[in-house]
Structure 1
């Protein structure tokens, strides 16, 4: 299991938080997702043998937010 923290711009409310969490939790291999709106960060624990870091970034981007 690997943990990564991304800085994400554009998240400002509970709806933003829920949208990112829901999208990431749908991915096979994602164990936990924690969004911190104040810091603008998303912490993800995942199995690197199942899902890639690139896929995580693409999923956040497809949700409408930018990984910095």
Structure 2
């Protein structure tokens, strides 16, 4: 499944790297691409192993505000 996650609070490319590094190892994650200018992450994942709630909470745990 492909999903766009809106992310508020990213201020630099280091933030982008933190989000990508947090999402990439999640079980079922296939691809993660974070766009700083758009304030979004586009992810592809196996919906049998991963869900929107986990994606959003993972980003929120980093101190950002995420929504789908």
Shared fold by TM > 0.5?
A: yes
**Runs ≥4 in structure 1, deviation > 4 angstroms?**
none
Deviations 1:28-60 (A, max 9, x none): 101111111001011110000001110000000
* Number of aligned positions between the proteins: 67
> How far apart, CA to CA, are the structure 1 residues paired with 2:22 and 2:33?
12
> How far apart, CA to CA, are the structure 1 residues paired with 2:7 and 2:51?
18
> How far apart, CA to CA, are the structure 2 residues paired with 1:33 and 1:25?
6
TM-score (normalizing by structure 2) = 0.93
Structure 1 unmatched runs, 5+? none
TM-score (normalizing by structure 1) = 0.93
RMSD (CA atoms): 0.8
